[in-house]
Amino acid sequence: MKPPLRPRLAPARYVTGPGEAAGEAEGRRKAWSVREKRALLAALRDQAALGVPEFQARPLRERLPRRSEAEILSFLCRLRGRAAREAVSTQYRHCLEQQRCRRSQVPAPIEVWLELAETLAEGLEEATVAAFSQVLTVAATEPLSLLHSVPPRPTATDGDGETIAGGDPVTPRSFPRPDVPEGFAVDFQRVYEYLARLCRGAKGPALPPGESAVVLALLSSLPPELSALDCAALRGHFRGVYGALTAPCFSETDAPGPPSQPGGRSPAMLSQIFILSSKGDRLIHRDFRGETHGTGADLADVFYRRITSLPGDQAPVFMAHEGRHFVHVRHAGLYFVAMATPDAAPFALVEFLNRLVTLLRDFCGPLSEKNVGLNFGLVYELLDEMVDYGYIQTTAPEVLRNLVHSEPVATKPFSLLDLGSIGLFGAETQQSRVAPSSAASRPVLPPRGGEQSARNEIFVDVVERLTVVIAANGTPMKVDVQGEIRLKCYLPGSVELRIGLTEEFCVGKSELRGYGTAVRVDECAFHSSVKLDEFESGRVLKVTPNQGELTLMQYQLADDIPAPLPFRLFPSVEQDPPGRLRLYLKLRCDLPPKSQALNVCLQLPVPKGVSSLAQELSSPEQTAELQPSTKSIRWTIPRCQGGSQLSALFKLEVPGLTRASLLELGPANLTFELPTHTCSGLHVRFVRFPGSTPCPPQRWVRYLTHSDSYVLRL
């Protein structure tokens, strides 16, 4: 049963010998299988055992019923040709080997050493050799010194050893002495003779093993002895050779030192900043250091290519490029990219870029490709004042305002009367004194010589982000509220402002204020310019705002919010037998009846095999569609009044529906915006200017809650 080793043959298509011309057509037609070849081989062996001098095709044929005699013969012919070729080439190679052997006998170790020494000492060879030769000649001819250099033999006759050892203090003790077997003697004269002859260029006599060992030991102990020689040039040369030998080659670039090494570090800085559009167009490019990086290829292009073709396992925020690092933040479809040194602190980089975005929004209005393009002079000026030589100078808006002199170019002229655009804030509440939503997004830089009254305004925005996970049974699993109070100030001068928050506002789990109706947050942090001396007593923030946006306070609240969550979902899923799914969704809005939710959108993943969707929605303004890319239903509801209930019926065709594929249904994700509503219940009681100003500025207080992630499990 043992299979013999498989002979490795070149595939038949490569072999085109002249001998196979006859059977070529047939041979081509049917390639020889391994089994057939093996059968042939066995047959041939049998024949050989019988002692038949020449192949006979017929007996072979018996073994190979599927082959004709001609085929077999042509195959054999091919085999014979190959064998001949193999033999010739092997012979030839062998012949070459022999020639080479004859030409250069294997060098003795001492010759190898000599050659090495020669190459090392080349250029100064003569001087060195002459020096050695003199010493050696002296040594070889002086019988006295010869006598002295016979090493003491521990096993030799005592008296002899003692006298010699005692009489010679300069015995080279540093030489490693191998264990000398009894009766082993080294004839140093021969050694000296050998060396002296070699030095003169003649070939020395063959050395017996003992003497060879001494010569080798001598050679190996040369380096430490060299320092005793006074030849500066030789030393220099050796060092040069050493340097050349140990110099790293190009491909293995020098290993970098650890980053903490003080000498190797470069100060953290930004060498370039650029802003790219979503299509990769370069809107702004500022090179602070004038350093060309490596190939000098356009970095903006390099960055864009890399960000768009990033492998899946890499996070794109930081990307290395030729020893520098791209850091970017994405905002409003634009890439804000900085190029930083490896020592830079990641938090500072990201924070700076975020700050840059905020500042640009302050100075130029809402960010867009068009707006940045229009205001590029202003952006350059800003960048110039913010960063010098790659180091951040200042990002304080009030300082920058004094330094920057360009005027913003607005994309659309702002007008307070423009109420046509109904946005997030205000307009829907039908109250008389409302600011249009675009009011707070225009640039804070005062238009020079423009109308005075329009900019005497201040906006206090309470903005909350809601992160919620609701379990299938309706209990909230995770409720997270991230809130901040933003101040957007268009006042010309600096006046102290008092902002009163809900009096029952308490921080931390333990604090208690008011009578059970407390507004509680877990943590809160204030901007450094906020004065808190009245915060403890009356929950009043005092601040002297400058023009621009300022985040007064940030707070967080987890798990325990006073009002019910704004939305609940009641799904029911039925499975009609042949691959059909009936999905009945009821969405209840638990807001107070006066409030409403805007731009509600529910995204529900459905089984991947879904093929079509039929829908019944409760009102015509709603829409629903199946998104093939994410395999999900997208149900959009433009507005939803508090206390109302919406329903939708979806019928899905899912071929090959199994019970398990219901796992793929859900969880639903809801996005929405709640104007004039805060989930924490935090309210601003008043915004006051303590000093009496002749015409009090317009004050706007606005509330907004929007969903960061609102997940409803099914």
Partner 1 sequence: MPYLGGEDALRELRRALANPHVQADRLRYRAAVLRVIRHMAQGADVSGLFPEMVKASAAADVVQKKLVSLYVRAQAPRQPQLALLAVNTLRKDCAHPSPAVRGLALRSLCGLRMPGIQEYLRQPLLSGLRDKASYVRRAAVLGCAKLLKLQGDSEVDGALVNELYSLLRDQDPIVVVNCLRALEEILKKEGGVVINKPIAHHLLNRMADLDQWGQSEVLTFLLRYRPRSEEELFDILNLLDGYLKSSSPSVVMAATKLFLMLAREYPHVQTDVLVRVKGPLLSACTSESRELCFTALCHVRQILGSLPGHFSSHYKKFFCSYSEPHYIKCQKMEVLCELVNDENVQQVLEELKGYCTDVSVELAQGAIFAIGNIARTYTEQCVGILTELLGLQQEHITSAVVQAFRDLVWLCPQCTDAVCRALPSCEDAIQDSEGKQALIWLLGTHGEKVPNAPYVLEDFVENVKSEMFPAVKMELLTALVRLFLSRPAECQDMLGRLLYYCIEEEMDMAVRDRGLFYYRLLQSGVEEVKRVLCSPKSDPSLGLLEDQTERPVNTWASEFNTLALVYGRERWALVTAYQPAEPSYACSPCTDSRSRDTESLISEESKEILKAHPDTGNLTLISDVYLTAEEFEKTWLSLEMSCHLSLPWCGTVQPDAIQTALHVVHIQTIAMSKAGVQPWKAYLSAQDDTGCLFLTELLLEAADSEMQVSVKQSEAKPEALQTFLSVLRTVMGAVAGLGS
CB 631 within 8 A of CB 606: yes
Of these, 148, 197, 265, 688, which contacts partner 1 (CB under 8 A)? 265
Neighbouring CB atoms inside 10 A of 247's CB total 9
User: Does residue 603 interact with partner 1 by CB under 8 A?
Assistant: yes
CB 397 within 8 A of CB 362: yes
Per-residue DSSP letter, 633: E
Of these, 61, 63, 197, 293, which contacts partner 1 (CB under 8 A)? 293
Choose one: 314-322, 413-421, 440-448, 642-650; the region binding partner 1 (CB under 8 A).
314-322
Closer residue to partner 1 in complex, CB, 48/233: 233
Give the footprint of partner 1 on residues 399-438 (CB under 8 A). 403, 405-406
Of these, 149, 632, 680, 698, which contacts partner 1 (CB under 8 A)? 632
Site string for partner 1, 3-42 (x = CB under 8 A): x--x---------------------------xx-------
Give the footprint of partner 1 on residues 647-706 (CB under 8 A). 658-661, 663-664, 666-667, 669, 671
Of these, 381, 428, 590, 673, which contacts partner 1 (CB under 8 A)? 381
Of these, 227, 308, 528, 692, which contacts partner 1 (CB under 8 A)? 528
Closer residue to partner 1 in complex, CB, 146/714: 714
Residue 244 CB, shortest distance to partner 1, in Å, is: 5
Closer residue to partner 1 in complex, CB, 103/173: 103
Beta bridge partners of 262: none
C-alpha distances out from residue 8 to 5, 12, 44, Å: 9, 12, 18
User: Does residue 333 interact with partner 1 by CB under 8 A?
Assistant: no
Residue 149 CB, shortest distance to partner 1, in Å, is: 34
324/293 Cα distance (integer angstroms): 8
Of these, 90, 98, 292, 429, which contacts partner 1 (CB under 8 A)? 292
Is residue 5 within a helix (H) or strand (E), and if so which, with residue range?
Answer: none
Closer residue to partner 1 in complex, CB, 175/391: 391
Report the phi/psi class of residue 508: left, alpha or beta, with left for phi > 0 and alpha for psi in -120 to 50. left
Give the footprint of partner 1 on residues 211-230 (CB under 8 A). none
Closer residue to partner 1 in complex, CB, 384/673: 384
Query: Greatest CA separation found in the chain?
Result: 130
Give the footprint of partner 1 on residues 537-556 (CB under 8 A). 554, 556
CB 435 within 8 A of CB 454: no
**Of 703, 686, 567, which is closest to residue 635 (Cα–Cα)?**
567
How does strand 505-507 pair with strand 519-521?
parallel
74/80 Cα distance (integer angstroms): 10
Closer residue to partner 1 in complex, CB, 145/393: 393
Give the footprint of partner 1 on residues 93-132 (CB under 8 A). 96, 99, 103-104, 119, 122-123
Of these, 523, 534, 576, 616, which contacts partner 1 (CB under 8 A)? 523
Angle at 646 between CA 429 and CA 672, to 5 degrees: 50
Per-residue DSSP letter, 531: B
Of these, 15, 44, 217, 348, which contacts partner 1 (CB under 8 A)? 348
649/636 Cα distance (integer angstroms): 14
Residue 410 CA from chain centroid, whole number? 39
Residue 360 CB, shortest distance to partner 1, in Å, is: 15
User: Does residue 236 interact with partner 1 by CB under 8 A?
Assistant: yes
Is residue 103 within a helix (H) or strand (E), and if so which, with residue range?
Answer: helix 69-103
193 Cβ contact partners less than 8 Å away, ≥ 6 residues apart: 140, 204, 205
Closer residue to partner 1 in complex, CB, 236/514: 236
Give exposure, 398-414, as e/b (b: 16+ Cβ within 10 Å).
eebbeebebbbebbeeb
Choose one: 69-77, 287-295, 617-625, 639-647; the region binding partner 1 (CB under 8 A).
287-295
User: Does residue 392 interact with partner 1 by CB under 8 A?
Assistant: yes
